[in-house]
Structure formats: structure tokens, C-alpha cells
Structure 1
């Protein structure tokens, strides 16, 4: 093959024009921007029309000023997105208002009757205080118990095999049983056994034991996941300094593990706060039991709505705190990486 033949063979073919045009590999954003702008005009016309004006400016600039046109289209998408989200929000608010106003304020009179709530508010609050005490005491007891179970499951060596097996069986059994069933077994069954100590539990103590057994199985797995998130070199460094396994776990591993698991722990305790309402099956005069009695007496469902508001006062701030801690942990991980 001659030199001329070789140059002919390796000569590149004609270039195929990019479907994106002079803008390179980036896709043309005009079509999807137009769809969002039209939806914004439909849901919230003032902002949608403003987004449409920026869209038209971007379309006019597109043939000659591609970068400036992309800026205009991006602004149009932003305003159209605001129009869509605000339109949906206002639509939901209007729907809720219509529900409350329909049928001569039937929803308000059924669930939020002030004439029923006002005289019984203190009675319901006293019952809710029982739920709060059960939650506060249970949170501490469950945290200690679940940490002990998690540490036992992480004991090394064959000598600790029986203890690990007991912890595994406990975790599997109580994670597989509904909390309500555990409450019935502990609260109604143990007093009939005649066993020392446990057969003399009052309803509050029985409810505390049942919630500890159920939630201890769940929370122990959360703590164990936190232990596994700590790098093995931390434990190895502690052991090289002469610390035993338990000392390394207590002084080095667990403090880091608990810090890593604060958001999921708070999620578990939020669920615990809600599940304290189940103790009403044991006859405890908590908020739910008192709401049921008040509702039957007043022939109104407003006491149930009042108790629901009590729970929201506790759970909503805890949920927001959990979200804040998750964001902070995410920022710290990104900063370290």
C-alpha cells in the first residue's frame, strides 16, 4: 500500500452535526421549559405569565446569544416551578377550607367542637401526662437495655457464643411480634403466673416492661449498625493501647456509634411516643382511654382530635429536630470527604 493510499484510508469522514446544534452535547431546554411554563400558567397565572415572559425572551435570544438565552430559560423554569408548587399548595388549602365549610361546618362540629373540648381539656391533659411519663422513662430504659443487647451481640470469641445466641433469639422474637400483642401478654399474662416480682407489676410497670422488650429489639439493631459504622481501626488502636474489648467499646466505639445513630434513634423514640397510646388496652387511664370515655359521654369525636393535637405537639418538634440532625451529619460527612 502506497503512502497516498494510507492517507486516504485513515482520512476521517464527514462530521455529523450534533442534534443539540451549536450548543454542543447539551440538550435544547426550550421544550421542557415551555411545558413547565404552561403548567404554571394553569395553576397560578400571575407567576406563570411572568415565567412565560422570561421564556419568550430566552426563545428570542436563542439563535444569537445562546448563553444568555439559557439564563433566561433557567429563570423561567424557576418562576414556573414556584407557580406550580404554590398553585398546588393553594389548591390544597382551598380544598381543606371547603371540607371544613361543607354541610354547615359538619367537620368542625364533629372533631373540633370547643364546647366539648374546653371543659374536658384538663382531664385529657392529665391522661396525656401518663403517656409522656411512660415515654420519658421508657426512652431511658430502652436506650440502656438496647445498648446492652447490642454489645452482647458484638462480643468476640467462641466463649461468648451462647450469650450472642440469646441476644439473637431475643431480637428475632420481639422484632417479629406486634407491640400490642406484647402488651397483652405482659400486662394480662404475667399477673396470672404467680411468679415473684413480675406478677405484682401494676399496669404502668407492665406497660413499661412490654414497651422495653419490643422497642429494645429494634433499637439494639440501630445501635449495632452504629457500632459497625465505626472503622475497625478505632477498636484496633484502643486494643493496642492495652484496653480490653469492653473498655474499647465503652470508651472509643460506643460514643462514636451513638453519635452516628442519633437521627434513627430519634425516629424510634417518635414511634415509641405514638405507641404509648396502645397501653389503653391494659386499662390505664391514659389520654386515649380518657378520650374514649369523654367521647361516649359527650356523643362527640372532639376528644379524640384533642388528644391527637397533644401528640402532634410532641412529635412534630422531634421530627424537625431529627431532620436537622440528619442534615448536620450529612454536612459533616461531606466536609470530611
Structure 2
């Protein structure tokens, strides 16, 4: 009984529910912003690594390697706490979005590179023989084929980014975890943390199942070939 009264206190969960919902909205906004900016940045970084002049290719490799190696928490702390020393002050939401986007862009770039390189070279040669400009061939011929390969890992990365939004609580952004922590302190009961865990599970579990479905569908498509 003490266990349920402590961790599954229904009255505390009900009273903390509005705070948790506000945190969930912030978490969803942060995740969406990071996925949009990180996805676009990752694709551009991938194309730069593959097709840009050598100095830019080397810069892209350096960016990808650095941000794949650095933990998101370290990147977030550097952006939020170190940049003010050089006169750049960002809000907690902007700092968290930037940190998550940079790391996601690095992983997205590698996934997209693998997808593009999996497209047979004959497709590039056929597009060139038809006289298609590079960007037109990339948009209409190469990327649609690469998309079949990259969708499952990209979806998996997006799920990971949503989980990593919890790190934004370190810079006092009122995300789901921060709101749950504040509710726990306000009500002197850990039940809000259990509520936050259940909310994370409720919206992330379908995404996890989606990743599994996409992976299985990709395997079936490869087998059909």
C-alpha cells in the first residue's frame, strides 16, 4: 500500500496533470523543431560531404565526426552556458533546439550518405545521359530511391531525439521532465515523475512500433528484389 501511495498517488497525479500537459506541449514543440532543423541540416551536410569541393567536404566530415562523438548534454551545456561568455545569449528553448538539431544533423547526414551510396551508379549515369541537371537528378531520381533505405533509421533517430528532449530540463526549460520534477517538489511526492514516464511511453511507444514496421517492410522489399 505504501508503494502505491508514494509512487502512484492518484490525487497527486490529478493535481499535477495540467503541469505535465504544459510540459508535454513544450516537449513536442522542441522535438518537432529539432527534427525539422536537424533533418534539413543533415541532408545539406550529406550533400556537402559527397559533392562539395574538397575543403567543404573536409569541413563536413569534421562537423559530422565531432557531433556524432559529443554527448547531447555536453553540446547543450556548451551552448547555454559557454556562449554568453562571447556575447551570445540564447533562451533555454533555442539552446536545446540548437543542440538537438546539431547532433541530429550529424547522424542524419551519415544515414542519408549511406542511402545515396546504396543507389546503383547506373541511376546516376542514366540521369546524366538524359541530360538532367545535377539537382534535378538528385531530387527526382536519386533521393526518392534512397528514401526507401533511410526512412527506418531516420525514424529511429527521431524517436531518440524525442527521448533526448528530457535533457533540456538541465537548462531549466519547462519540458515534460522539468514540469514533473517541479510538481514532485511542489507536492512532495514522486508520483508526477511516474505520470511523466507514462506520458513518454504513450507517445513514444507507437513511434517505436512504427520503426519496427518500417524495418520489416524494408526487409520485405529487399527480399522481393
TM-score when scaled to structure 1? 0.64
Q: Is the 8 A contact 2:148 2:218 kept in 1?
A: no
Displacement of 1:246: 3.1
> Which of 62, 67, 74 is the equivalent residue of 1:169?
62
CA distance in 2, matches of 1:124, 1:300: 14
1:182 and 2:75 aligned: yes
After TM superposition, which residue ranges in structure 1, 4 or more long, deviate above 4 angstroms? Answer: none
> Which of 189, 205, 208 is the equivalent residue of 1:319?
208
Q: More helix per residue: 1 or 2?
A: 2
Q: Could you report, residue by residue, the CA deviation over 1:145-194 in whole angstroms, capped at 9, with x for unpaired residues?
A: 100011111116xxx10010000000111111110000001112223311
Helix, strand or coil: the match of 2:51? coil
1:280 and 2:169 aligned: yes
Residue number in structure 2 paired with 1:204: 93
Displacement of 1:253: 1.0
Residue number in structure 1 paired with 2:140: 251
Residue number in structure 2 paired with 1:306: 195
CA distance in 2, matches of 1:217, 1:335: 32
Residue number in structure 2 paired with 1:119: 15
CA distance in 2, matches of 1:140, 1:265: 12
Alignment of 1:55-204 (within 5 A): 105-155=1-51, 160-194=53-87, 199-204=88-93
Larger radius of gyration: 1
CA distance in 1, matches of 2:37, 2:145: 20
CA RMSD for the aligned pairs?
Answer: 1.4
Q: Is the 8 A contact 2:80 2:89 kept in 1?
A: no
CA distance in 2, matches of 1:129, 1:232: 44
Displacement of 1:138: 1.4
Displacement of 1:284: 0.9
CA distance in 1, matches of 2:65, 2:218: 30
Displacement of 1:333: 1.7
Higher relative contact order (CA 8 A, sep 6+): 2
Unaligned segments of structure 2, at least 5 residues: none
Q: Could you report, residue by residue, the CA deviation over 1:205-258 in whole angstroms, capped at 9, with x for unpaired residues?
A: 111111111111111111111111111111111111112333322221112112
Helix, strand or coil: the match of 1:242? coil
CA distance in 1, matches of 2:165, 2:62: 25
| Matched positions, count | 225
CA distance in 2, matches of 1:111, 1:227: 49
